[in-house]
Amino acid sequence: MNKQFEHIEDFLEDSSFRSWVFSKGTMRSLFWETWLKDNPNKSEMFYEAKEILLALDEEEEDWDERDQIHLFTAISAQIDSPQVENTSSRISEKYTINRPRFIWLKVSMILLVMVVGAVLIGSAGLFSVEENMPKEEVAWISKYALPGEKKKVRLPDGSTVIMNSASELKYMTGFGETHRDIFLDGESFFEVAKDTVLPFRVYGGDLMTEAVGTAFNVKAFAGEGTQVKLVEGKVKVELKRVDQAEKDRVYLTRGEQAFASEEAFTKGKFDLEKALLWTEGTLSFDDIPFKEVITSLERWYGVEIAVEGKQSSLQKVSGEFHKDNLENVLKSIAYSFHFDFRIQEKQVFIQFN
């Protein structure tokens, strides 16, 4: 490099110098270390430039990576939400009343995405009452978190939901306007916006959970029973068996959970700290049978796991893995369970010895 470095500004202006100062650990290029050795007379200026940059950098506050991911998920969900592009054209052709609105909406692209949803939901709800709309016009809106992914979803009423892997949420148009009924397959954590008029109801498995403004976790994977854990506020949980008219209900306060299986409907306590670890990317097992652990791993990482060989059905797994990769998690379980494993893309083979 022939560049002259006579002033602090010369360092600051140099982008390779800046990236050297800000880079951490192994990626750091050796160029500037060498340069410093070759130019000992400029070391004072060099260090001052570095110190200025670092001081400026400390003033910066980094964006929490989780928040960043959440925001991108919200953006993706808005791009994906079908009513924005498809339904809008269909409905505006059918109901000319709406047309001026849509023309106005097209003027501002930013508003298009944000508002069309609300307008459509409102008018679809209206029409379904007044004009007996054909069934397909009352749209279901679905949100998916595929195996291996987690999603934060904002609902039209301002509530937020963190969806765990392999879960689906569904609600009908009019959500937040005429109703707040939402259907869950899988596991989700709900933070419910306050609304004294419309109760917020989650239908999952055999349970219906009703809340006004509160935070709770519902786990309702098919065939595993349904579980509601209350983190904040107060909720009513109702048992709703498809084939039975009976309506059993319990009220939960903070730290209490309801569980419905084939055999029973019970109320108990749970560990507040552990229950929500998954929303922060921590996979935790607290004395869980090996078979259930395998199911959790399949969902969490979006893989299929085949288990071969003789295994003890009595052994249970405890452990916490924060944002760890599958290989590390399997390694530490394998250590105490004595099995070999092989990961081939989305397939995992476990062989007990």
Which residues contribute to the site for another protein (CB under 8 A)? 8-9, 12, 15, 18, 44, 48, 51-53, 55-63, 67-68, 71-72, 74-76, 78-79, 109-110, 112-114
Which residues, listed in sequence order, are joined to residue 228 by a DSSP beta bridge? 218, 258
Number of residues written out for the chain? 353
The nearer residue to another protein, 254 or 323, going by C-beta atoms, is 323
At 205, give phi and psi (nearest 5°). 55, -130
Q: How far is the CB of 56 from another protein (least distance, A)?
A: 6
Q: Which amino acid is at 92?
A: S
Residues 6+ apart with CB under 8 A from 301: 147, 148, 326
Task: Give the residue among 203, 227, 226, 215 at the shortest CA–CA distance from 253.
Answer: 215
Task: Give the residue among 187, 188, 186, 230 at the shortest CA–CA distance from 210.
Answer: 230
The nearer residue to another protein, 56 or 97, going by C-beta atoms, is 56
Instruction: Give SS3 for 176.
Output: coil
Q: How far is the CB of 226 from another protein (least distance, A)?
A: 33
The nearer residue to another protein, 7 or 342, going by C-beta atoms, is 7
The nearer residue to another protein, 113 or 288, going by C-beta atoms, is 113
Q: How many CB atoms lie within 10 A of CB 299?
A: 21
Q: How far is the CB of 283 from another protein (least distance, A)?
A: 24
* CB-CB contact of 329 with 320 (8 Å): no
The nearer residue to another protein, 74 or 288, going by C-beta atoms, is 74
319, containing H or E segment: strand 316-322
The nearer residue to another protein, 79 or 97, going by C-beta atoms, is 79
The nearer residue to another protein, 56 or 129, going by C-beta atoms, is 56
Q: For 153-180, give one letter per residue: b (16+ CB within 10 A) or e.
A: bebbbebbbbbbbbbebebbbbbbbbbb
Query: Measured between alpha carbons, how far is 151 from 70 in angstroms, rounded to an integer?
Result: 7
* Cα end-to-end distance, the chain, whole Å: 60
Query: Measured between alpha carbons, how far is 98 from 110 in angstroms, rounded to an integer?
Result: 19
Q: Kindly tell me the burial class for residue 270, based on how many C-beta atoms sit within 10 Å of its own C-beta (0-12, 13-18, 19 or more).
A: middle
The nearer residue to another protein, 107 or 242, going by C-beta atoms, is 107
Which residues, listed in sequence order, are joined to residue 351 by a DSSP beta bridge? 308, 340
Query: Measured between alpha carbons, how far is 33 from 98 in angstroms, rounded to an integer?
Result: 66
The nearer residue to another protein, 52 or 334, going by C-beta atoms, is 52
Query: Measured between alpha carbons, how far is 102 from 100 in angstroms, rounded to an integer?
Result: 5
Residues 6+ apart with CB under 8 A from 309: 339, 350, 351, 352, 353
The nearer residue to another protein, 75 or 97, going by C-beta atoms, is 75
